[in-house]
Amino acid sequence: MPRVSSAALAALFTLAAVATSPPSSAAGADWPAFGRDPGGSQHSPLATINTRNVGQLKQVWVHRSGDFVDAPLPKGTVLQATPLHANGTLYFCTPMNRVIALDPATGKERWSFDPHRADPRSGRAALSPPLAMPGRCRGVAYWEGAASAATAATVTPAAPAAKPAACARRIFKNGDAARIYALDADTGLPCADFGAAKGHSGYAAHTDYENHGESFAGSATSPPAVLGDLVISAMSVSDGIANAKDGMVRAFDVRTGQLRWEFDPIPADRRNSSGAANVWSTISVDPQLNLVFLPTTSPSTDYYGGGRLFDIPLANSIVALRGDTGEVVWSRQVVRHDLFDYDLVGHPLLVDIRRGGRVVPAALLQTKMGWLFGFERATGKPLWPIVERPVPASDVPGEKASPTQPVPAGMAPFARQTMKREELFGLTPLDRMACQRKFDELRYEGMYTPPSVRGSLLFPSALGGGNWGGASYDPQSNLLVIKAENLATVLRVVAKKNADTEDKELPRDYLTRPLIGTPYRIEGELFQSPLGIPCTPPPWGTLAALDMDTGKMRWQIPLGQIRKAGISIPKGAGLGSPNVAGPITTAGGVTFIGATMDSKLRAIETVSGKELWSVDLPVPGMAVPMTYMVNGRQFVVIAAGGNAQVGTPIGDYMIAFALPAGSR
């Protein structure tokens, strides 16, 4: 691959400079991290758009990147990026590994970065070989040094800022091949100093270090996190191979890319027996406590644990690390010996809740099981008592399920957790009977029924309950607004006849995979009728508000609607929609959410759950929206690109909405 020297690359920073407006000084005008603030609250203090005027929202601009492939996975694209607003600019990433910067008022492109192509403006050589297949990118991270922030704060129209030094403000992106790219936030050019000591100016790489185990090592699909002068990046690994690479999380110096610390969730003496337990979702940080919060996943393999019948306490856990060293300060495992692929799907929300007459710095953790766990942020002490519930045993030879699972007492579940034969759904009586016959054939003993040779119903499934991006905390109402998906799946453990052959088979889909290095493969499917309609009792998607003081559900509504078998199921039926991504809340009392298969962006009254406004998007907006203010005007932006994994129409839209000029 062509290389450019550090000195030559640094010289290129004088080229292709793009003028940007100074950062807005209005309180809360920016959205500089995935969840807006470092703790990931997904809440904005902006209130120009509020419950009285949200119905007047209109589309004001749309940007199309061109980066989409309308096809099934693995070739079809998934656009889930939540843009950042910082440095007077919008930044987001595409499924083709590009980063794009937009004018936040008009949506016009300022610059784009493609690691797979030479930059025609500067002559910069490509940093990466051509992309073989689309990926998934949920966002980027932003950093600026203290000097840059101080300079920006003193900018006035009469005294414009001097041209900043190259890479005084940086965009970080988890990219292909386990890389972390560092870009100049003003120009999009790679930062010459980042990674230079390792011989690849412009990026750091997890592959420069020992990751243990087998199979691939990639970068996490979610953005890295920034804490002080560290950028913290997780890895994407396989959880379908027995001795997968470990789920390493690393902190790099934001300027040089040099490794500062690393975290491995797999016990050192077990690294040849299991792997994964990685972080594929978002990371939150607490700068005041100097803590990094990780939501870890299942160890490998995910649906069969006969080769890992030992404790892996940092898997399926909320883990708090000391920010400067990576040392574990506290952790809490919320799934024992995971046989269900119950990965932790989102960052712990680091928010100050009101409970029992006092303000509590909390870490709130959503789960696929529909449980919400809460912890005191500094110590890990549970805010709601955690009890061990007896659960069904495994009947798979060689397997041993955990006899209990932890459950929070005193906090209402936000997702449906049980189903009965008589509650199963069908569009017609025959359709419902087919669901009931299938139910009778399968093993189902309630939550945590493990996979079986007979075939088991898993509900909530690995799709959730909670899933990625799914919660926001509104400090005014003390409500956690959280969405859920309610779909059961069928999991069948099948003994391999020829492991040498079957271990070479590619996974057919999210639920069917060879489980390499084990005596079994897993076959999975949605629990659905012959018409392709979920058998699970509806609603299949919900949005709810949990009171952080009482632990009770304040409200819950069906979210979205679907079209199946040529039938558009009416909104009034209350069936909801399968969904991916989550909400944001605002000080205007409004919750915004896309996520659903009906291609709508909705505005919901936060305190009541009443729908105030909706708009049709070109394709589903299965991304977390965001909001910001420019020149006194508040914008709401969502990525509408659909999701090839879910089978929706595909696109490449970034769409902004605002009130008509001059309206209040």
Q: Tell me which residues are annotated as active site.
A: 341
> Residue by residue, what is the 3-state secondary structure of 583-624?
CEEECCCEEEECCECCCEEEEEECCCCCEEEEEECCCCCCCC
Which strand (E) or helix (H) includes residue 431? helix 429-441
Burial of 378 from C-beta contacts in 10 A (0-12 / 13-18 / 19+): middle
**Quick one: tokens of 631?**
């020149």
Q: What φ, ψ does residue 82 adopt, rounded to 5°?
A: -100, 115
Contacts of 491 (CB under 8 A, 6+ apart): 303, 451, 452, 455, 456, 458, 511, 522, 523, 524
What distance in Å separates the CA atoms of residue 25 and residue 650, rounded to the nearest whole number? 37
**Quick one: tokens of 539?**
């609603």
User: Collapsing DSSP states into helix, strand and coil, what is residue 362?
Assistant: strand
**Quick one: tokens of 39?**
């703790």
**DSSP code for 148:** H
Q: Terminal CA-to-CA distance of the chain, rounded, Å?
A: 55
Q: Which residue in 178, 198, 318 sits closest to 253, CA to CA?
A: 198
CA angle at residue 290 from 294 to 154, to 5 degrees? 115
**DSSP code for 538:** S
What distance in Å separates the CA atoms of residue 459 and residue 456, rounded to the nearest whole number? 10
Could you write out the DSSP letters of every residue in 367-388? -TTS-EEEEETTT--BSS-EEE
What distance in Å separates the CA atoms of residue 345 and residue 390, rounded to the nearest whole number? 24
What distance in Å separates the CA atoms of residue 92 and residue 167, rounded to the nearest whole number? 18
What distance in Å separates the CA atoms of residue 167 and residue 184, rounded to the nearest whole number? 4
User: Collapsing DSSP states into helix, strand and coil, what is residue 197?
Assistant: helix
User: Collapsing DSSP states into helix, strand and coil, what is residue 198?
Assistant: helix
Q: Contact 510/645 with Cβ under 8 angstroms? A: yes
Q: Cα dihedral angle (19, 24, 25, 31), rounded to 10 degrees?
A: -120
Residue at 600: amino acid letter = K
User: CA-CA distances (angstroms) from residue 267 to 214, 273, 274, 331?
Assistant: 16, 10, 9, 14
Could you write out the DSSP letters of every residue in 299-356? BSSSS--TT--S--TTTTEEEEEETTT--EEEEEESSSS-SS-----SPPEEEEEEET
List b or e across 226-262, with b for residues whose CB sees 16 or more CB atoms inside 10 angstroms.
bbeebbbbbbbbbbbbbbbbbbbbbbbbbbbbebbbb
**Quick one: tokens of 481?**
């607004």
